[in-house]
Structure 1
Amino acid sequence: MDDVTLYIGEPSCDMAHLAHLELLTPTLEESERFFVEYLGMTVSERRGNSVYLRGWDDYAHHTLKLTAAPVPGMEHFAYRVSSPQALERRVTKLERSGLGLGWIEGDAGHGPAYRFRTPDGHVGELVWEVEWYQPTPETKPALKNQASRFPARGCNVRRLDHINVFAADVRATRRFLQENLGLKLTECIIFDGGTEKGAWVTANNKGYEIAITEDQTGARGRFHHVCYAVDTREEVLRAADIAIEFGYRIEYGPHKHAVQQTVFLYVIEPGGHRIEIGCPGARLVLAPDWKPIVWTEAERKRGQAWGLPTVATFHTYGTPPVEVTR
């Protein structure tokens, strides 16, 4: 694969970081219990049929919004931009792409947001104005440079790390995010025939914030998983112990990925979404001239760095269920 295909323009500093996502769940009460009692997240606010949550060191009002709905799925993901001017620049590009959806007034925790759609159908939004989390007496930390107190509950997830979206056309989605958001490609999977099976992109020095992987069902616009990071590998192992105490289904892991090297555990929450507990989450990529790592078909068929082979559902199970998207 040539450099022209992998490098799409000059990387931009207009995007700051992945900010939040909204997941639709048919079991709101049970899903909230999963994220609060099992993952150890904190509820920032309840509004209407939605609950807003965050990890203990997420600085913002929330990084996850759960909304009651008949069918599970990702309603949208959001990036925070680096300035009001950056927001203007990116909105202009998105409008020219023909995939802009327009402005919304805002939501709990953030101001006006510009919405767009990826070529595969995922809805994204860009925000600048955000509300920082204000600790309560119960969540106030001893150290003022920490967003809130360590919860000592469940998996104690620290922060939102990344999302993975399924795509029928990985390359089209990856190029769209590079061209219109200025994201950088750090790693990808390209099979012998030239088909792009996976791509990992980022706005900053994290190895990735969005993974795009091929949906082998051929469906479009589905959600694969969200990852919340913990501090140590031991905590990933402990997350598996805690999952069986709660009776939650472990789909895969604990193992270590070859791509990006995350030590992982995947658990299915009551609403149907795949949730990852990961360490170190995305590693740091500091080189300004980083050349994307290209994994070949033969290399990927060897499996993960260590652990059992990838389960078949990892390439087909996502939300919403495939029968809903067809």
Structure 2
Amino acid sequence: MKQEPILDISHLAHIEIYSPKLEQSVTFFKEMLGMDEVERQGNSVYLRAYEDHYHNTLIITENTEAGLGHMALRTTSPQALERRAAEIEKMGYGIGWIDGDVGHGRAYQFKTPDGHKMEIFWDVEYYQAPEDQKTALLNRPQRRPNRGVPVRRIDHINLLAKDTNKNVEFLENALGFNVRERILDDDNNDIAAWLSVTNLVHDIAIMGDALEEEGRLHHICYWYGYPQHLTDVAELLVEADYEIEVSPIKHGISQATCMYVYEPGGNRVELFGDAGYLIFDPDWKTIEWKGEDTAKSILWHGGSNLPDNFFEYGTPVRSKKPVKNS
């Protein structure tokens, strides 16, 4: 009999990244990706994309090195928050409760087995556009920005892990994530897995860390909607001398058109040009890629190969690969 699903987590709410070059990082997200700065507090800047409904979805915090500060998930109810917090506490991964942060209320913080910091919360502040940013589209929080080629919403996060299987199992058992697709080695261990609690192929991806480090970030991702916008923003990025790691390609996994670029602080940013496919089947069978199929899972078309750096580079940086900073 199929195990009753855990339906306590609704979606990815926001991500905090660290940057040793705070103002340059903020400029990148505002001027290239058209995101709006909504607040500053201490060493942190809070931003959002124009179809994000919450107060913020990206926090950039000044730090000596790049990496993940934390990522946040919203629960499906106040009761769900209490249930998940109690379960995570029992599993031994809890950090504890905080009163809240800019844009949301009381939250429970914890770490994955690999050490990535996460939090879950229920109470949230919805974005209220100022008069000059209001739109006649009542189902959109604000006008489409006229800077850069604006991203539309937060999409997902990709985490590197020393022990891929352990982290995948934690997301399944503690938070109710479903493994939608995975790449397996010859012993059927996860090389990488794509998990979601929504209809997306992934809200979170877990990839094995090629350097066998713990708690590193591979990339964050924002969504455009139209693949053409990847070409449009690539033009802006090249002219502004930002480093594009991977020009627009199509993945086999998720079937999404995408590209990868480094923001000035050193974090990798993926830009999605479409949503790939959506999952509505409650009895979805995990797609498993193995052996000779693996190459097509990563790169369906758009290039001959991904650079070695794609599989080795993460933040905090533990490789010698230099990153161009504008």
TM-score, normalised by the number of residues in structure 1:
0.95
Distance in 2 (alpha carbons) for counterparts of 1:141 and 1:241: 28
Distance in 2 (alpha carbons) for counterparts of 1:310 and 1:128: 39
| Corresponding residue of 1:88 | 82
| Corresponding residue of 1:305 | 300
| Corresponding residue of 1:124 | 118
8 Å contact kept, 1:162–1:282: no
Which amino acid letter does the alignment assign opposite residue 47 of structure 1? Q
8 Å contact kept, 2:252–2:299: yes
Distance in 2 (alpha carbons) for counterparts of 1:247 and 1:139: 30
| Corresponding residue of 2:268 | 274
Distance in 2 (alpha carbons) for counterparts of 1:282 and 1:228: 14
Distance in 2 (alpha carbons) for counterparts of 1:282 and 1:221: 28
CA offset at residue 261 of structure 1? 1.0
CA offset at residue 138 of structure 1? 2.4
Is 1:24 aligned with 2:18? yes
Which amino acid letter does the alignment assign opposite residue 322 of structure 1? R
8 Å contact kept, 1:115–1:126: yes
CA offset at residue 146 of structure 1? 0.5
Which amino acid letter does the alignment assign opposite residue 307 of structure 1? G
8 Å contact kept, 2:257–2:276: no
| Corresponding residue of 1:64 | 58
CA offset at residue 211 of structure 1? 0.6
1:96-111 alignment to 2 at 5 Å? Answer: 96-111=90-105
Aligned residues: 318
- SS of equivalent residue, structure 2 residue 229: helix
| Corresponding residue of 2:324 | none
| Corresponding residue of 1:53 | 47
CA offset at residue 323 of structure 1? 6.8
Distance in 2 (alpha carbons) for counterparts of 1:253 and 1:162: 19
8 Å contact kept, 2:179–2:286: yes
CA offset at residue 194 of structure 1? 2.2
| Corresponding residue of 1:33 | 27
**Superimposed CA distance per residue, residues 55-74 of structure 1 (whole angstroms, 9 cap, x where no aligned partner):** 00000000000111111110
| Corresponding residue of 2:256 | 262
CA offset at residue 76 of structure 1? 0.4
Is 1:235 aligned with 2:229? yes
Structure 1: gaps spanning 5 or more residues: none
Is 1:44 aligned with 2:38? yes
Distance in 2 (alpha carbons) for counterparts of 1:224 and 1:21: 13
CA RMSD of aligned residues (A): 1.5
Distance in 2 (alpha carbons) for counterparts of 1:89 and 1:79: 14
Distance in 2 (alpha carbons) for counterparts of 1:11 and 1:237: 40
Against the structure 1 CA distance between its residues 57 and 188, is the aligned structure 2 distance closer, same or farther, given a 3 Å change threshold? same
- SS of equivalent residue, structure 1 residue 204: coil
| Corresponding residue of 2:316 | 320
| Corresponding residue of 2:68 | 74
